[in-house]
Chain A
Amino acid sequence: MAISTSIWIWISALLTLAIYSFLYKDNPFYKFAEYLLVGISIGYGISVYWHNTIITKVYNPLVHDKDFLVIIPLLLGLLMFSRFFKNYSHLSRIPIAFIVGAGTGLSIPSSFEFLFKQVQGTMPTAFTIGNLIIIIGVITTLIYFFFSMEHKGFIGKVSRVGITFIMIAFGAAFGYTIMARISLFIGRIQFLLSDWLGIIK
């Protein structure tokens, strides 16, 4: 294997290095890459919204299917722009209220279902030390999140056990995330050493 001849690989490699240069210190190369990323990610977002929303959800239903109900969200969306006119800026609250209202309405039932699944999963189907630990862990953690009682005396001790459980969980999550992030760095190094420079097989 030898050094890559593909212009695209070179672009990727140079941009990768430009971002790593930030580890040394902030510099024009990093700044260039940073701003470039902002620019192209917005450009990408516009394109995706254009094809997946504007065309498929607004233009096609309106023009091809003659579904005039689409005009309502269209107007709601346009109301967002009232923000640019001082006297009418409050109108933009209506589309926001719509998104928030419908969003919370959609989330409440699934939150409950999720809750049930968690409680159900905690039930000890077999009597083992492990299951006992799970029940104790869940209950003490919940008691840590008690707000209408002061954490003193018995409650205080129980919530101490709860926070210990929380810390063990955080430790495990931390360990696993270290592993994943190092894998990502390994991935970039492989790209640089192999796809670009061709040093390793």
Chain B
Amino acid sequence: MFIRRTLPLLVAGFFGIATIIQFFVPHPASRTFYNMVLDWMIIVTAFTYLMAVQSTIELHTTKIKRKVEGWQYSLVVLISLGITAFIGILGGAFTPSTILMKLIPAFKPSSTSPLMYTYLYMQVPMQSTIFSLLAFYMASAAFRSFKARSFDATMLLVTAAIVTIGRVPLGEFIYKGFPEIIEWILKYPNMAAQRGILIGVELGMIATSLKIILGIERKYLGGGK
């Protein structure tokens, strides 16, 4: 019981309060503590990432074993994962590793690491393409979902339309006053609402954090009493 529930809550409470106190104390001892906690967090997070990798590999090996429909794609995941990780660990992340430079003298400290090739020519184009799919989804959302159902929605629509059209050359060509109008909207009503929302969100965050440190909010530990 102690290990299951009390100890985790104590750990969370201790580090929560300690890092808050640290914020107010500029002494070197407190800075050492701060840097140590940051490093620890980075290390523990790396292990949680390892869990992620393990989960993915497990998911896809099961699919392949059971020959689930589309299991061939799981093979794609495992093979590409294996190759990328292999050349990444051996050949260096951003700059070539020393091992690689010894093996292949063509690689100099300033040259691009092999991993960067898969990053620049495979990961990047695919990611930015997926990002750009948003333009299409947005078009369809604009057509189907953006209805002036109520006064609120109408306000949203009108502002969106003014900003959309006023920020391109054609819009300025149609009406010269657009840039000033947009500037005004951004600087006043937009800023005011953004602030209001943010203040609310920050208050909510502070309250939830307090509950975590005091051990009242414990959902993050999973269920269980």
Contacts and interface: CB of A to CB of B under 8 A. Distances in A.
Interface of A: 8-9, 11-13, 15-16, 19-20, 22-23, 31-54, 57-58, 69-70, 72-74, 76-78, 80-81, 83, 90-91, 93-109, 111-112, 114-115, 118-119, 121-122, 130, 133-142, 144-145, 162-179, 181-182, 184-185, 187-188, 191
Given A39-B78, A98-B41, A145-B200, 7 more contacts: A44-B118, A70-B39, A95-B48, A111-B209, A121-B195, A144-B196, A171-B155
B47 A184 contact: no
A73 B40 contact: yes
Contacts of B68: none
A179 B167 contact: yes
Interface in B46-69: 46-53, 56
Interface string B167-211: 110000000000000101111111111111111101101101110
The SS class assigned to the A binding surface is helix
Given A101-B212, A105-B16, A182-B135, A47 B160 contact: no
Contacts of A96: 8, 220-221
14 contacts: A16-B129, A20-B133, A38-B56, A43-B84, A43-B86, A49-B50, A77-B48, A90-B4, A106-B19, A137-B196, A166-B197, A172-B159, A174-B163, A175-B162
A175 B126 contact: no
Chain B contact patch, size range: 35 or more
Interface of B: 3-4, 7-9, 11-20, 22-24, 36-37, 39-53, 56, 70, 73-74, 76-89, 92-93, 97, 115, 117-136, 138, 142, 151-153, 155-164, 167-168, 182, 184-200, 202-203, 205-206, 208-210, 212-213, 220-222, 224
A169 B194 CA distance: 7
Contacts, number: 387
Given A104-B16, A134-B188, A184-B131, A39 B84 contact: yes
A46 to B, nearest CB: 4
